[in-house]
Amino acid sequence: MKTSFGPGSALPAPKHLFNGLPPLKSSPSGAETADMHSSARALAVLLLLAAGATGQNRPDPVQTVVPWQGHEVLAGELLVQFRPNVSAAAQSLAHKQQGVLPRAVLGPRLTRVVLPAGTDLEARRAAYAARPDVEFVQPNVLHHPVAVPDDPLWSTQWALSRVRAAEAWDSWPGSADAVVAVIDTGVDVDHPDLAAHYAWGLDTFAGDADPDDAAGHGTHCCGIANAVTDNGLGVAGAAPGCRFASYRCGNTSFSSSALVAAIQDAVAKGARVISMSWGSTYDDPAIRSALQAASDAGCLLVAAAGNDNSSTPFYPAALPFVLAVGASNSGDNRASFSNYGAWVDLAAPGESIDSTWLAGGTAYLSGTSMATPLVAGAGLLLYGRLGQRTPAHAAAVRAALEQSGAPVGNWVAHGRLDMAAAMDQLFPSTPPQLTSLDPPELPALHGTTVTLTGSGLWSTTSVTVAGAGVSFALVDGTHLTFTAPDAPVLGPGTLSVSTPAGTDDLGFTWVETDPPRLVVPAQLAGGSPCTWSLGGPVGDGWFLLLALDANTFSYAGQQILVPLAMVKGSKLGATGLASLQAFIPAAAAGLAIRSQLVTWDGDLSGASPIETTTID
C-alpha cells in the first residue's frame, strides 16, 4: 500500500506501517485512505456527545506531517502541559505570551496549540520548556499500528488453542460488565461477529461518535479480543462473555492528541482494560501522563512491543505500568518480526492470526498488534471475574498473566500467555487454605478490622464467623479483611471461607474487650436514636460519660472525660458487652457529643478512647 501524506510532506512510510492489504475471505468495502489524522476536534467530540449530537459522521481532517528528531509529527502543533496548581487564567496568559492559539483542551493542564504560520517548531517548543510553570511540551507525535500482513498458514484459530482459551472459558465465560477499550482505527460496527459485544465507541480523530473503521486494523484487533463466540459465525474472541469499546484515532497513524482523548474517555466510561496495538520509539510525555492516570484509576494497560526485530524499547509498551506484548509463532518461538528484551513482559501468538475484517469478513494478519488484543482479552476475562475496577485488581490480573506464562525463551520476561493457567493462578481449582488472623484473638465487641491470610482467596464467595456471615473485602489472592461481629461466647470460635472450589476453616479465640472500647456513630442526624455499644471486662460495672467538649482530668493513670452527663449501668455480661440507646433531638443539630466508657471493679479498671459524634 502506498502511504500518502498531507500537503507539503514527502516522508516515506515507516517499515512497521501496512505494506499491503492482507488476503481476505471476503473483500473489504469502502475506500481506504492513508492520510495522517489528528484529534483537532477532540474537545468538540465530548461537547457534541453531551449535547446529544451523536449521529453525525464527520469527514476526516487533512494534516501535514513533518520530521522532528527522527519522529513524524503534525506540522505547527504542540502539546503543552502545565504544572499542578497553575490556574486556567495563568495558562491562557502563557499561551498569549507565546503568541499561539489553543486548539483543544485535553485536560485541566494539557492543551493542544497551533503555532503561527512559519514558526520554527523546535524554537517555540524550547521557549515553552524554559517556562517554570510548564511541566512538559512536545510536538503532536504520530504513532503507528504494528500489524504485518501475511498469507494464511492455518485454516483454524491455532492461537486460542495454544493459549488454552477453551479451558479458561470452562472456568469462567466472562461478564458483560467488563469492557476492553480497543484504541485503534475503529471497528466495523455492523460486523455480525462483533455487533453483539459492542459497548460504545468514539472517533477522536474526525470528531464524532461513530468509530466506523476504514482501514481494518482496529476491526481485526476487536475480533481477537472479543468476537462473539459459539454463535456459528466467523471466529472466536478471547473474552466471550465480555464486551469491547472501540476508539478510532486514525487510519495509518494516530496523533498524540487523538490517543490522549481516547484514553481519557475510556477511563471515564469505565473500561477495565485498554488495548493498544500501536506505538513508536518516542516516549511520549502526553501519552505517558494519560496512561499513568488510567493505571491509577485501575485500568489494566496492554500494548504492542513493536515489529522491528529489535531490542530497542518501544512505547507505550516499555512503560513500567504497561504490560508489553511480543509475538510468538506456532512453534512457541519468537516471531521473526517481534521486538524482544527484558522490557517485553509477555508473549502471545501473533503470526497468521485469523480475525474479523471489514464488510463482515475475516482476514489473516501477523504482528504484535495481533498478540496484544489476545492478552488484553485474556486480562479482561480475569478482570470481569474479580469485579469492580481497582488498582489492586488490575495488579492482580497482571501478576496472574505474567506468573502463569509458559516458558518460550529469554527473549521475553514472563513467557507465553496461558489463559487456563492464569485463570487457575487467580482462581485456583482447589479449596482455599487459611493460615492466620491478625489480630489472632478477636475482642468480643464488634468493630475490629481483621486481616485473614491464606491462599486462593480471590474467588471467595462468603466468610462466616461463628456461623454468622460477614461482609469482606479482598485485598489480594492471599489476604482479605472483614469487620468482626460481637462474640456469642468467649473462648474458641471458627471462621470459614468458601470459594467455588470448596471451603476451609480456621480456629481462633474470642477474648474480653481489653482495654474497654465503645462503638458509636461518627455522624448522626438530629431527631433519630443513637446507640452506644460497649465492651470491657466481664462482670465489671460501667459508666458512660457524655460531654460537649474534650476536657479531661487524670485519674489512676487514665485521661477521663469531664462529663456533662453520666449514665451508670449494671455489670457487663458474660461476654463483657452492653448497649445503650437514647433519642437525639433535632435541636441538637450542630453539636458534637463526646463519649467515653469507664469500667469499675472496686476502683477504676479501664477507660476507652474518647469518641466524637457530630449531630447533623
Closest CA to 247 of 180, 183, 294: 183
Within its chain, how far is the Cα of 533 from the centroid? 39
What pairs with residue 328 in β-bridges?
334, 349
> By C-alpha distance, which of 401, 142, 358, 374 is closest to 239?
374
Distance, CA of 368 to CA of 506 (rounded, Å): 47
Instruction: Point out the catalytic residue in the list 60, 150, 184, 193.
Output: 184
Q: To 5 degrees, how large is the angle CA 273–CA 418–CA 391? A: 30
The conformation of residue 196, written as its DSSP 8-state character, comes to G
Question: What is the rounded CA–CA span in Å between residue 334 and residue 416?
Answer: 10
Cis peptide before 28 (omega within 30 of 0): no
Is 369 among the catalytic positions? yes
Q: Tally Cβ neighbours within 10 Å of residue 407.
A: 10
Partners of residue 387 on adjacent β-strands: none
Would you state the cell numbers that stand for residue 259, as one nine-digit string?
Answer: 490517543
Q: What CA–CA distance (Å, rounded) separates 275 from 390?
A: 17
Report the alpha-carbon distance of residue 514 to residue 487 in Å, rounded. 14
Question: Beta strand 611-615 with 523-524: parallel, antiparallel or unpaired?
Answer: parallel
DSSP state of 204: T
Question: Cα torsion at 312, 314, 315, 321 (round to 10°)?
Answer: -80
Q: Which three cell numbers stand for residue 504?
A: 476451609
- Determine the number of helices (DSSP H) and then strands (DSSP E) in the chain: 11, 37
In the three-class reduction of DSSP (H, G, I as helix; E, B as strand; rest coil), residue 216 is classed as coil
Give the strand pairing for 71-82 and 611-615: unpaired
Instruction: Yes or no: say if 213 and 420 are a contact pair by the CB < 8 Å rule.
Output: no
Cell numbers linked to 183: 484504541
- Give the contacts of 416 (CB within 8 A, at least 6 positions apart): 162, 163, 328, 332, 346, 347, 348, 349, 405, 406, 407, 408
For residues 585 and 527, the answer to whether their CB atoms sit within 8 Å is yes
Catalytic residue, from 369, 404, 459, 533: name it: 369
DSSP letters spanning 534-558 = EE-STT-EEEEEEESS--EEEETTE
Beta strand residue intervals within 204-358, DSSP E: 243-248, 254-255, 273-276, 278-279, 300-304, 323-328, 346-349, 353-356
Q: Residue 13 phi/psi, 5° resolution?
A: -70, 135
Please give the Cα distance from 430 to 606 (Å, whole number).
Answer: 46
> Is residue 257 among the annotated active site residues?
no
Query: Of 191, 217, 414, 446, which residue is the catalytic one?
Result: 217
Do the Cβ atoms of 575 and 486 come closer than 8 Å? yes
CA distance 113 to 78: 5
Reply yes or no on whether 184 is catalytic.
yes
CA distances from 421 to 107, 128, 502 (A): 40, 50, 19
Give catalytic residue positions: 184, 217, 369
